[in-house]
Amino acid sequence: MPTELSQLLRGAADVIPKEAFARKLGLGRPLRVKLGIDPSRPDLHLGHAVVLRELRQFQDLGHVAVLIIGDFTGLVGDPSGQSETRPMVSPEEMEENARTYFEQAGAVIDVDHAEIRHNSEWLSEMDMRDVLRLTSTTTVAQMLERDDFRARHQEGRPISVVELLYPLMQAMDSVQVQADVELGGTDQTFNLLMGRDVQRAYGQEPQVVLTMPLLEGTDGTRKMSKSYDNYVGLTEPPEEMFGKLMSVPDELIARYLRLCTDLDPDEVDTVEARLRDGTLHPAEAKRRMAREVVALYRGAEAAAEAERRFNIVHVEREIPEDVPVVEIPDDTVRDGMVWLPRLMTSLGLAASNSEAQRLIEGNGVRLDGDRVSASTTEYRREDLQGRVLQVGTRRFVRFR
């Protein structure tokens, strides 16, 4: 049986300092494990789930999950990794995003038994004397040690004073909830370590910092992000999740199994070794990874159905039976003719006419299974009725 320490460190990128973590675990009391969330965006994906799954592990071992909703810090936005000042988010957006966040986070952690705090409780109550005390705990030189701040300073790009305050505000959260441990991605290391310094300045024992790896997106290069359109959302339909996971590069299969599923680490090691020596085909391993992830969030039955639909579209090259039926909007018809890019945009199958045109030119659009030629994009309305339009690999509509 793995020890509690080895269980919690399995999959972690770093723990600072490790000796203090082992000592805290030996205190004989539940640790207060903090995770701060700035709900500047409402959608959660598998990248977010990596840290949430670690928090759930602490919960399962009897520790207290302390979720900090950054309804105050989120108005500014975390500057970590940003090349320019972020626009401020309105309080209304923040409130709505926070609500959506909890609905999605509940798929990973036990929200009902977590301690939920909003950092406006204390940050909005601070007067200038409090702010001066907080800012006296660090120096401008320390702040410029951050890679993103240093780069922007050297390149002459602006850094607002509010951004310099952000790590200190996050650190104050740790003081207020008396955090024993704070979790975050590796891109959060500077902010998390700032929490240790500020806790010490306020007479508290510094928290342990535990960072988790950043998950690469489905493109295999950049970290998973909705901005890069390389994400797998936690609330996406099962077939959408499965299809996206099947597009993950082969070299990331073991990493996804390790960070995104509940498979035993020894079993993942075996899969990785078999992929390396060629005794396991990547397609088979990738299917298993996709099934495991979808089952985790949607159940085994939904995962099996998602795989069945994937086979119909990608392996058997058939059209699914339950394609949504849509009307051809009147405003897409000109003199009885329908221009396909305009129709795709109107139905939400493309963001714009130009994007629709690019999809067609890239052989990504089919009618009744046949590729649409870039030279034939106009159809009579009656010629489209009853036919199935496929955009990409997972989006289908049948025209009424």
pLDDT value, residue 77: 63
DSSP code string of 146-158: SHHHHHHHHTT--
More confident residue, 125 or 358: 125
Average pLDDT, the chain: 89
Express each pLDDT in 219-254 by its tens digit. Answer: 999 999 887 889 999 988 898 899 999 999 999 999
pLDDT of 127 over the 80 cut: yes
Closest CA relative to residue 154, chosen from 87, 79, 83, 78:
83
pLDDT value, residue 115: 95
Q: How does residue 123 score in pLDDT terms, banded at 50, 70 and 90? A: very high
pLDDT value, residue 84: 47
Q: How does residue 88 score in pLDDT terms, banded at 50, 70 and 90? A: low
In angstroms, rounded to a whole number, what is the distance separating the alpha carbons of residues 191 and 181?
A: 13
195-199, 207-211, 365-369: least confidently modelled range: 365-369
pLDDT value, residue 101: 82
More confident residue, 323 or 270: 270
Tell me how long the chain is: 400
Tokens representing 255 are 């990493």
Express each pLDDT in 106-120 by its tens digit. Answer: 899 999 999 999 999
DSSP symbol at 252: G
Tell me how many degrees the CA angle 74-68-61 measures, rounded to the nearest 5: 145
Q: Classify residue 34 as exposed, middle or buried by CB count within 10 Å of its CB (0-12, 13-18, 19+).
A: buried
Asked whether the beta carbons of 235 and 206 are under 8 A apart, the reply is no
pLDDT value, residue 124: 93
Q: How does residue 158 score in pLDDT terms, banded at 50, 70 and 90? A: confident
Asked whether the beta carbons of 37 and 101 are under 8 A apart, the reply is yes
20-34, 37-51, 86-100, 194-208: least confidently modelled range: 86-100
pLDDT of 138 over the 70 cut: yes
What are the CA-CA distances from residue 253 to residues 287, 309, 350 (Å)?
A: 10, 21, 29
Q: Where are the beta strands (DSSP E) in 201-332?
A: 208-212, 325-326
In angstroms, rounded to a whole number, what is the distance separating the alpha carbons of residues 208 and 206?
A: 7
pLDDT of 85 over the 70 cut: no
pLDDT value, residue 287: 95
Could you give all domains of the chain from N- to C-terminal order, each with its CATH number? 4-212 (3.40.50.620), 236-315 (1.10.240.10), 325-399 (3.10.290.10)
Mean pLDDT of 380-386: 85
Q: How does residue 80 score in pLDDT terms, banded at 50, 70 and 90? A: low
More confident residue, 46 or 141: 46
pLDDT value, residue 17: 95
Q: Enumerate the β-bridge partners of residue 134.
A: none
Dmax over CA atoms of the chain, in Å, equals: 78
pTM here?
A: 0.78
Q: How does residue 343 score in pLDDT terms, banded at 50, 70 and 90? A: very high
More confident residue, 198 or 392: 198
Mean pLDDT of 21-27: 95
pLDDT value, residue 244: 92
pLDDT of 276 over the 70 cut: yes
Q: Where are the beta strands (DSSP E) in 318-369?
A: 325-326, 333-334, 337-339, 365-367
Mean pLDDT of 265-270: 94
What are the CA-CA distances from residue 105 to residues 56, 111, 162 (Å)?
A: 10, 7, 28
Asked whether the beta carbons of 11 and 259 are under 8 A apart, the reply is yes
pLDDT value, residue 83: 42
Q: Enumerate the β-bridge partners of residue 366.
A: 371, 390
pLDDT value, residue 78: 62
DSSP code string of 4-26: HHHHHHTT-SEEETHHHHHHHHT
